[in-house]
Every structure is written in C-alpha cells, then in structure tokens.
Chain A
Amino acid sequence: MSEMLTSLNNGYGAAWVLAFAAGEHEVPAWETALFGLILVAMIAALALEEKIHARKSIIVGSFAGLCLILATVMNLLSFGPVELPDHHMIDLPVYIPSIDWGVITIILGASLFVEVTSRSGVFTWMAISLTRRSGGDPWRLLIFYGLLTVLFSAVLNNVTAMIIIGSLTTVSLKKLKRSELLLGFLLTEGLLTNVGGLLTLISSVPNIIVGKTAGISFAKFFLVAAPYVVVATAVTLLMAKWKFGIAGLATEEEKRDARRMVDSFDPSESIPSRRFFWFSVGALVMFIACLAGQSALPFGLDKLEMGFVALFFAGVVLIAYKNDVDKFYSAVDWDLLAFFASLFVVINVMEHAQVLHVIGQGIARLLQLPDPVNSMVLLSSSAVASSVTDNIPLAAMLAQILGSLETPEASPFWWCVIFGANLGGNITPIGSASTVVAMTIIHRQKLDLTFGGFVKAAVPFAVVQIIIATVYVLIAV
C-alpha cells in the first residue's frame, strides 16, 4: 500500500500541475474559502432537510444556481464550445457537461425498470411465498425477511426494498398476533437495507458514483462485496435475535396455529397477469446478466455503458404498458435525479474554485498515514460523516477527490468510501433514505421510537458492521 501512496502523491501533484498548465488561473484564497463555506452550508442544509421542509433537489438546486452565478461573476468558469470525440465543436450551456450523465441514466433506467417489474407482482409474490414457507415461526420469519431485504436492496433500491418488506412485516406480524416483535423486525430490516445496498454496483447511489469513477465493473463489485454482505447479514440477524428476543415457536400447538395463519396468505393474489409475471422474471434475469457482463458485450456494445443497458431494459418492459406509460414516468423520483444533476454542477464549481483541491490535500495527508490506519480512518470517517448527512454528496466528493489523486482501481480506498458511505446510514435514522422509511413505518404503527432511541438500538449493529467491513477491507481487498 505504501507504494501505491507514493504513486498517489505523485499523481496527485501531477494532476494539479496539469490543471494549471491547462490554463486555469490561480484562485484567490478568499474565493476558495467562500465556496468552501457554501459547500458546508449545503451539506448542513441537506442534514436539516426534514427541519427546513424542502426537498433535496430544491436545496441543492438553489446552491447550484448560487454557485454558477458567483463562479461566473468571479470568472472561475470557462465558457465556449465543447469538443466532441469526433472533433466537432458544439455549444452547450456550461452546466451541462459538468453533469455525469452516465450516473443519471443508470438511476433513471433502473428506477423505471424496477417500477414496471414490481407491478408484475414478482417481488410481492416472493415475499408472500417466503412468509408461508416460514410457517409463521418468528425466528424463521426474521431470517427470511432479512435475506429478502438484502436481496431486494441489491436488485431494487434500498427505499423500495424497505417499503415492500416493512409493509409485509406489519401485515404478517399483526396476522400472527405478534405485534410486540414489530419494532425489532422493522429496525433489523432497516439496518439490513444498507448491508444489502452493498451487494452490487447498482444497489445504491454511492456504489454507482464511486464504482463508476473507480472503473470497477459490475461483476468485480459483486465478487468483492458479496462475502462481506453474507457475513454482515448473518451477524446482524443473530444480534437481532439476541437483542430483540426473537425466538422460534416451542410447542406443536403454537406451530400449528401459526402455520394456519400464514397459510391464509395467497401469493397469487399479488400477480395481476401470469404472462407479465414471467415476462418480468425473464427481463429481470436478463437485466442483471447484461449488467454483470456489460464490459464483455460484443461488437463494441460495451461502449454504450451501463446507463444504456438500464434505459434499454426500462424501454423493453415499458412496452408491456405501452398505452399506460404516463403513470410510470410520474413514479420516477425526479427529485432524486434533479438533486444529482444539481450536485454534479455544485461539485464542478467547487473543483474550479479549488475547494476540492484543499479537501484533497487533507485527504491525501490522511491517506499517507501508515497502513492500515489510513484505511480504518477513511472508512470510519466516511461512515460518521454519512450518518449525519446525505451519503451521496459525500460519495460524489470523495470519488472526485480520489479520482483526481489518480487512485488505482485496485486500491482499498475506494472500498473504504463505499463501505463507509453505505454503513454510516445505520448509525442514525436520518443516515439513509431506507432508515427514514423504517422510521416512517414504525411511527405509522404507533410504535414509540425517538431519534435517540433509534441511535441507542442501532449503534451496536452499525459498529459491528463497520468493524467487520474494516477487517474485510484490510485482509481481502
């Protein structure tokens, strides 16, 4: 790792020399400080999103607008035509090339694809079938729901996974007359969404941003992350069993009664059309296979990248609803997409204002710490930072900085950011979107859980998950 750090330092220095050589003028320190303050203010506003009653896109969009105006007035941006790969010059607004359209298309395509396939009932069918298979035994039910949470978080997104499993948990535990277990189940599921979110490159937004910047392929990402996800899931489930007192059924009579109650769930009820159900299953398998093998697509199709794969499959499944696509378009999380676009603009301006350069210097010093302290500090500080604010700006900023430091693809630092940004969401209820969903469901069920109560219950899980991740990164990556 020391050799890599040396090369990092060299690369880091070279990157900034290049920047200046390319004609970027030196930025006065007060301007960098001003934009640094704006960045801190934006992160603080995102952390207080619930308090100020504004959506992410509006918060970051406002800051993006302010940054663009100030950067233009201060002459920090370069205006003029943009050169395309075929050497054609086209005019584009200055903020358009700063957006990472690869990330935007992956999120847009994947969310449309998931929205359509979830209408086929494939995910609810799986959830209900496993509920029946558990026989109503609480411990088996927790294992099944835990595994489903991880799987759905990996294939769908953390929020949808939490909504599906959380909803089924409330209905099934009430049916089983075990409402006293609801809090433990929902908390465990909320914590497992962020573990499952580590499984694939498209499972969470930090994965997409960091993975894409690092050049990690879908298959490589899965092979590295999967062993950790298996271990962390097992440990989390065992801790939940102990902490929340979730035990199996003891007597034959209890088992018989529970079996009768879960048998009343009919999985086929959630399937509107068998044809569309099997079509969606096939499309889902193909989608994952194409993402996994995207870098090996023939005829140069790999150049179209994962965003195209996601959009292509979204288009294919939308054909099944060709007369009714409006409802899927309206279901797209436009707030998230606008948030991303704005965030990329802010980061681009911060780069021009040399704010990222200053932060990068700090991180470079951190990375120069002796092994394995540097990885441990990077992972844990990423986790702590993402526990109190949105992990997406954090991941985007760190990815940009690691990229500018020319960090090699095989470096463990990328994985420190990925693990830290995902697992940090388990420390507080506002640490990730899926824990916010878990809290919403908990409060809908009139269960008494405060912010502090969540932290108290979740911190032991998060600490253990982060320790396992640190050890895993040090020995396996």
Chain B
Amino acid sequence: MVDHIDEFESIFRRSERELFQYADIPMEAVTFVSDGDADRAAAGIAMARKFLPRLNVKNWRSITGDQYRTVAELRDVLDQQQTDLIITHRHLQEESFVPQHSLGVYLDVLTQTTSIPVLVLPGSASEPASVGERICDRVMVVADHISGDNRLINYGVRMCREGGTIWLCHVEDDVVFSRYMRAISRIPEIDSDDARVLIEKQLLSDAQEFIDGCIDVIQTEGPNLTVNGYVGRGHHLRDYCRLIEEHDVDLLVLNTKDDDQLAMHGRAYSLSVELTHVSMLLL
C-alpha cells in the first residue's frame, strides 16, 4: 500500500512544473568600487556604462581606495550608499595581480556577506583588462539547479542588451551522478539500470522543461532577446568553459551563495577564479 501511495505521489510531483516568472529588476543606483583614485573610478564607470547600455541607471556612484582600508569599512560605505549593483575588479587593494586562485579578500567576503549583486570586470584591480568595444549582448546564465531560479535569470535578462542573446545553461555533474549511481548499484532493492536511465531522464527533463518555459515567458513578456537553452550531463567547469568559448560570452551570471556555508558556493568559486577574462555577475 505504501508503494502505491508513493507511486501516486511521484506522479503528482512529476506533473508539478516550476513556472518562470519574469520581472524587470528595478535598478536605481550602481556603485563602482575602485582601489584607486577618483579618475580611475570615473574611467571604470565610463567603461561599465558602455558595456551595460540596458542598465539605464542615472545614479552612478563610486567608492575610491582612500575610503576604506578593511572589508568592514567597505561594507559600511556600501551600506550608506544603498546601491542596487556593485561593479568592481578582483584583488582590490592588492599590489599586483598574482594568480592566487581567489577573488581577493574583499570580493571573497563581499560576495558572501551582502545580498547586493556584484559584477566583476575582467582582470584585476591593479591590472584591469579592458572590455574594449564590447557591449554586453551575449549573456550566459549557469546554475546547478536552474529550475525555479527566477532571480538569476531575471538578472541575466536585465544585463543583456536589447536584441542580444541569452543562454540558459544547466549541466548535471558527471562526478556527482556517478557517485550516486555507484551507491545505487550496491542496493539490491533498486534496479541499477532502470535507476540510471530514469534518474538521468528526470534530472535533465526538469531543467529542460523549466528552460523551455523561460524561453516562452521571456519572449512574451520580456525585452527583445534571443533566448537559447542548454541542458546536458558532463563536467561542470570544463563544459561551462567550452560553452563560454563557443558562444564568445560577454557576461556570465551565476549564484555564489550557499545556504549552509560561509564560503562561496564551490562551483561558482572555481568558475569565478578560473575565468578571469570574462565579466561575471555574482548573485
């Protein structure tokens, strides 16, 4: 009897769709955080305004290097400014750019302790890489669990230029999948072959259906964008890097916060420290 109850509960849960809700994210003020002087901050703002034409924000502010000496001081200044978006570089207040597999102490803490999205420009604070003539019209949104993540997708849409293209990507990690399959293969009560096929199918179809729904909603209610989806199984870092290269992505949008840990969400961390040449919006 319990088997039957569980069977029908599964049927009803499967019929439950995560519906995407489009929302045009309001943005009143943007703050550019620099570790240099006012001129460098102004140059950064000019570059960001050119890179993000659809932001359409009148209130651009800056924080210069002499306004803070510690992360706590930087947070105090940001709290006073009540900004909707922070734009900055990696390795603030560090003498030289040394590839040390981190975002620098300021960003490592900032991305975890504030709910304000942080847009990280390529290069480091001491050696910023120019985005040149690039305009943000190829945005890629990546997530471990894209289904139901309205906020992430809406930020991606908000950043993309009118007429641009946005990719919604979901890669199921092979390593994690294989680990669970190994565990299942040791449980006699579960048919391993069925489990492999059905679990993979369900994992991918959940994401695919959500993305299909997003495409419909954005094309109906959102701005004029081309929306593409990618759902697959593979190696997270390698597959995302490949997709970014293939589509010559201007901006990567990803979550960094994990509910149950203080450090940055593992996958986001590896992407954000590996891909120093791509602009990223960290939520």
Contact = CB atoms under 8 A, between A and B. Distances in A.
A164 B17 contact: no
A128 B5 contact: no
A270 B17 contact: no
A6 interface: no
B2 A175 contact: no
Interface residues on B, range: 10 to 19
Contacts of B15: 124, 128, 265-267, 269-270
Contacts, number: 61
B69 interface: no
B14 interface: yes
A15 interface: no
Contacts of A128: 12, 15
Interface string A104-146: 0000000000000000010010011000000000000000000
Contacts of A440: 1-2, 5
Contact of B1 (A163, A171, A266): A163
Top 8 nearest A-B pairs by Cβ distance? A167-B8, A269-B15, A171-B12, A167-B9, A264-B17, A264-B19, A168-B12, A163-B4
Interface residues on chain A, size class: 20 to 34
A265 B5 contact: no
B19 A167 contact: no
Interface string B220-256: 0000000000000000000000000000000000000
A172 interface: yes
B221 to A, nearest CB: 14
A172 B8 CA distance: 12
A441 interface: yes
B11 interface: yes
Interface of B: 1-2, 4-5, 8-9, 11-19, 21
Interface in A421-459: 436-437, 440-441, 444
Q: Which of B2, B4, B12, B21 has the most CB of A within 10 A?
A: B12
Given A163-B4, A444-B2, A444-B5, A124 B11 contact: yes
B11 A163 contact: no
Q: Tell me the dominant secondary structure on chain A's binding face.
A: helix
Contact of B17 (A121, A124, A166, A266): A266
A388 interface: no
B16 A166 contact: no
Contacts of A270: 11-12, 14-15
B1 A437 contact: yes
A103 interface: no
A159 interface: yes
A170 interface: yes
15 contacts: A124-B12, A159-B1, A167-B11, A167-B12, A171-B9, A171-B12, A264-B17, A265-B12, A266-B16, A270-B12, A436-B1, A440-B2, A440-B5, A441-B5, A444-B5
Given A437-B1, A444-B2, A265 B16 contact: yes
Contacts of B21: 260
Contacts of B12: 124, 127-128, 167-168, 171-172, 265, 270
A263 interface: yes
A66 B204 CA distance: 58
Interface string A243-281: 000000000000000001001111101100000000000
A291 B11 CA distance: 30
Contacts of B16: 171, 175, 264-266
Contacts of A170: 9
Given A163-B1, A437-B1, A168 B8 contact: yes
Contact of B18 (A167, A171, A264, A437): A264
A444 B11 CA distance: 17
Contacts of A167: 5, 8-9, 11-12
B166 to A, nearest CB: 23
B9 to A, nearest CB: 4
Contacts of B1: 159, 163, 436-437, 440
Contacts of A171: 9, 12-13, 16
A260 B19 contact: yes
Interface in A170-199: 170-172, 175
B11 to A, nearest CB: 5
A134 to B, nearest CB: 14
A167 B4 CA distance: 9
Q: Which among A163, A166, A175, A436 has the highest number of chain B CB atoms within 10 Å?
A: A163
A308 B18 CA distance: 46
Nearest to A267: B15
Contacts of A441: 5
Nearest to B2: A440
Given A168-B8, A267-B15, A269-B17, 13 more contacts: A121-B11, A124-B12, A163-B1, A167-B9, A167-B12, A171-B12, A171-B13, A175-B16, A263-B19, A265-B17, A266-B17, A437-B5, A440-B2
A265 B11 CA distance: 11
Contacts of A164: 8
A120 to B, nearest CB: 12
Contacts of A163: 1, 4-5, 8
A311 B19 CA distance: 44
A437 B5 CA distance: 9
A124 B21 CA distance: 27
Contacts of B11: 121, 124, 167, 270
Contacts of B2: 440, 444
A236 to B, nearest CB: 23
Contacts of A159: 1
Contacts of A124: 8, 11-12, 15
